[in-house]
């Protein structure tokens, strides 16, 4: 597709004798399209040209030669040059490209197959899957798809917390209370109950903690029975998570978690030793990071055991070897900021500067209710992810039964809308902000929500169905979609690729959520203003094609976030 910024920069470059790329970087999109579709802020050149911005604007305006097929006109407004795009040209460019690429519209190959490793979800097995893991799963899942869309090879890693004292607790609890819980159905409900009960009771009975430690030690020492139980716990937990992952469209290429690295850490510890990075400190072995204003990174505790950081370093080295990654992203809550800073620094000190620079912690905020209170913390009980998703589906089903009881495929629609609402809510603001979890808000069909986007998508579909329309670009007269409201849509479609690129550059799926809201609202404006179905066939064909295009891009964009679009609702 045509690159309008480049075209403009090219024309300006010829008048001022400056670098085209630099000029292109300055070009802005005005907040209000009355001020043009693109604007060049001349004050950016004031220093270089030693002139006042309005004067620069005048001089450029006088000399500039524009291709009228691309730009309708240039105007001066203060120190800005405002460029107005030829509407018919852009409509043709965008819709023809869409016709060529269909659901691939907007995708580009800037990744060229380079590997982006995304560590996400990564729950702790045998502990409740906390709502915080929902955020990691949803944000990481979206990044996975966005990078893929941009030609990268996404590698999803679920770095399971499948080793640790929690297994000692559950195993001890299993022994103590085996008659009280029904474990025959192989679900994790009982396991989680045992974990929660154990954690509560051990507060009063410290000897229970000792028992848990011993049980875990048995596991660490390779006791056969303990290993069997561990394996079983891991299996039923994974089977349970899978259901949730399926609902969320989260994909993983590896489930190598902490346990996988158990027997691989010696090598890394040795390497640290050899490189002179390890220091003894009160019986522990650490990497001193004082010089970098950080507390030491503990590698071996005073009890002689390895810890979280040791395993993360080991897995990082493994990821370097296996994937030679372009980026390694860790989608983990904000509270682990220091941990990752330390681990990446140690990696750098080990001599892997190149890869250390490619590592990035992708933090996110808490999930809070509308009063700002952390969800799940009040009563000390965690909210199970699966329960939340099922509740969302149930709520949507109730709404459907009330408003549209004859809808076909009710269950499927409820699933797509319920889960979509949860996903979109999670991704609708910049990730570092706390997510407000409020049922009324996230299910509001008129708000800036997942259901709203799905509703607009369904509306595009129903218009096409009603018209019995088969999209055909050959029948489109591009001059018929140049009204302001139509052109707003065309411009948004044109920017879709950039939006995806930006989302990846910032590792911020909310860039796409915002875009989907804008596109939905733009279509809604258009739809309210003009009759898509009219007597004039040429007008109708053009409007229908535009409607079709909006539907495709809404669907593609929503799928990048992990949502699914219903055909009806």
Cα separation, 293 vs 178, in Å, equals 49
Three-state secondary structure readout of 405-421: CCCCCHHHHHHHHHHHH
Least distance (Å) from ligand ARG to the CB of residue 143? 14
163 closest CA partner among 210, 123, 117: 123
| Pick 15 or 334: Cβ nearer ligand ARG | 334
Least distance (Å) from ligand ARG to the CB of residue 311? 8
Q: Write down the H helix ranges in 70-113.
A: 87-101
DSSP of 75-88: EEETTEEEEEE-HH
Q: Which among 44, 87, 92, 127 is annotated as catalytic? A: 127
Least distance (Å) from ligand ARG to the CB of residue 258? 7
| Pick 332 or 563: Cβ nearer ligand ARG | 332
Q: Nearest residue by C-beta to ligand ARG?
A: 161
Least distance (Å) from ligand ARG to the CB of residue 332? 4
Do residues 289 and 295 touch, judged by C-beta distance below 8 A? Answer: yes
Least distance (Å) from ligand ARG to the CB of residue 162? 9
Least distance (Å) from ligand ARG to the CB of residue 312? 5
Residue corresponding to tokens 């995806």: 500
Least distance (Å) from ligand ARG to the CB of residue 157? 8
CA angle 16–21–23, rounded 5-degree value = 45
Least distance (Å) from ligand ARG to the CB of residue 286? 19
Per-residue CA distances from 533 to 84, 207, 463, 493 (Å): 29, 76, 8, 22
DSSP of 189-252: HHHHHHHHHHHHHHHH-HHHHHHHHHHHHHHHTT-HHHHHHHHHHHHHHHHHHHHHHHHHT---
For residue 165, the SS3 value is helix
Which two tokens mark 273?
Answer: 């030793």
Which two tokens mark 289?
Answer: 């990071």
Q: Which among 5, 133, 145, 169 is annotated as catalytic? A: 133
List contacts with ligand ARG (CB under 6 A). 119, 122-124, 159, 161, 312, 330, 332
Number of alpha carbons in the 13 Å side-chain half-sphere of residue 288: 9
- Give residue 26's region: left, alpha or beta (phi > 0; psi -120 to 50): alpha
| Pick 359 or 414: Cβ nearer ligand ARG | 359
| Pick 159 or 216: Cβ nearer ligand ARG | 159
Cα separation, 11 vs 54, in Å, equals 18
84 φ/ψ angles, rounded to the nearest 5 degrees: -110, 120
Other CB atoms closer than 10 Å to residue 323's CB: what's the count?
Answer: 18
Sign of CA dihedral 423, 425, 427, 431: negative
| Pick 85 or 259: Cβ nearer ligand ARG | 259
Residue corresponding to tokens 């979206």: 142
Cα separation, 226 vs 514, in Å, equals 49
| Pick 167 or 478: Cβ nearer ligand ARG | 167
Cα separation, 562 vs 512, in Å, equals 12
Cα separation, 297 vs 194, in Å, equals 33
Whether 339 is catalytic: no
| Pick 260 or 330: Cβ nearer ligand ARG | 330
507 closest CA partner among 16, 143, 62, 148: 143
Whether 275 is catalytic: no
| Pick 314 or 513: Cβ nearer ligand ARG | 314
| Pick 5 or 311: Cβ nearer ligand ARG | 311
Q: Which among 44, 92, 130, 480 is annotated as catalytic? A: 130
Least distance (Å) from ligand ARG to the CB of residue 566? 33
Cα separation, 559 vs 453, in Å, equals 12
111 closest CA partner among 149, 143, 62, 81: 149
User: Which residues are part of the catalytic machinery?
Assistant: 127, 130, 133
């Amino acid at each position: 597709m045509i690159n309008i910024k480049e075209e403009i920069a090219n024309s300006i470059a010829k008048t001022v004798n400056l670098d085209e790329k630099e000029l292109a970087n300055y070009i802005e999109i005005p907040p209000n399209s009355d001020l043009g579709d693109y604007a060049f802020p001349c004050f950016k050149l004031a220093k270089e040209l030693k002139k006042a911005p309005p004067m620069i604007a005048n001089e450029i305006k006088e000399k500039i030669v524009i291709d009228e097929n691309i730009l309708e006109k240039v105007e001066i407004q203060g120190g800005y040059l405002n460029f107005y795009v030829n509407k018919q040209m852009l409509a043709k460019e965008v819709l023809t490209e869409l016709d060529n690429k269909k659901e691939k519209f907007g995708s580009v190959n800037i990744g060229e197959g380079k590997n982006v490793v995304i560590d996400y979800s990564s729950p702790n097995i045998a502990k409740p899957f906390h709502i915080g893991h929902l955020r990691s799963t949803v944000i990481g899942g979206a990044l996975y798809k966005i990078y893929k869309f941009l030609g990268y090879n996404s590698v999803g890693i679920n770095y399971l917390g499948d080793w640790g004292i929690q297994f000692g607790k559950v195993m001890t609890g299993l022994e103590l209370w085996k008659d009280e819980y029904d474990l025959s159905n192989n679900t994790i409900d009982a396991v989680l109950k045992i974990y929660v009960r154990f954690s509560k009771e051990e507060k009063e009975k410290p000897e229970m903690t000792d028992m848990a430690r011993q049980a875990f030690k048995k596991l660490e020492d390779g006791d056969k029975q303990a290993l069997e139980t561990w394996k079983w716990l891991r299996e039923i937990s994974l089977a349970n998570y899978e259901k949730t992952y399926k609902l969320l469209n989260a994909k993983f290429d590896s489930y190598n978690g902490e346990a996988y690295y158990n027997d691989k850490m010696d090598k890394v510890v040795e390497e640290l030793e050899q490189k002179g990075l390890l220091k003894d400190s009160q019986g522990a072995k650490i990497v001193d990071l004082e010089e970098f204003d950080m507390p030491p990174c503990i590698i071996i505790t005073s009890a002689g055991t390895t810890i979280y950081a040791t395993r993360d370093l080991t897995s990082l080295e493994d990821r370097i070897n296996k994937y030679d990654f372009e980026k390694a992203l860790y989608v983990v809550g904000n509270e682990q900021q220091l941990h990752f800073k330390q681990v990446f620094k140690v990696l750098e000190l080990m001599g892997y500067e190149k890869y250390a620079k490619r590592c990035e912690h992708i933090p996110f905020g808490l999930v809070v209710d509308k009063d700002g209170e952390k969800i799940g913390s009040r009563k000390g009980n965690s909210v199970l992810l699966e329960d939340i998703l099922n509740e969302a589906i149930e709520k949507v089903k109730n709404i459907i039964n009330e408003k549209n009881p004859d809808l076909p495929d009710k269950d499927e629609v409820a699933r797509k809308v319920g889960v979509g609402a949860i996903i979109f809510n999670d991704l609708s603001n910049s990730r570092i902000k706390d997510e407000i979890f409020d049922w009324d808000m996230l299910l509001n069909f008129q708000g800036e929500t997942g259901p709203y986007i799905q509703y607009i998508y369904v509306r595009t579909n129903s218009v096409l169905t009603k018209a019995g329309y088969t999209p055909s670009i050959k029948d489109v007269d591009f001059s018929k979609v140049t009204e302001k409201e139509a052109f707003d849509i065309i411009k948004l479609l044109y920017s879709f690729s950039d939006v995806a690129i930006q989302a990846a550059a910032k590792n911020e799926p909310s860039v796409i959520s915002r875009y989907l809201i804008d596109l939905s609202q733009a279509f809604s404006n258009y739809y309210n203003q003009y009759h898509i179905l009219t007597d004039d066939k040429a007008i109708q064909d053009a409007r229908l094609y535009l409607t079709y295009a909006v539907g495709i891009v809404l669907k593609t964009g929503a799928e990048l976030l992990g949502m699914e679009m219903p055909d009806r609702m």
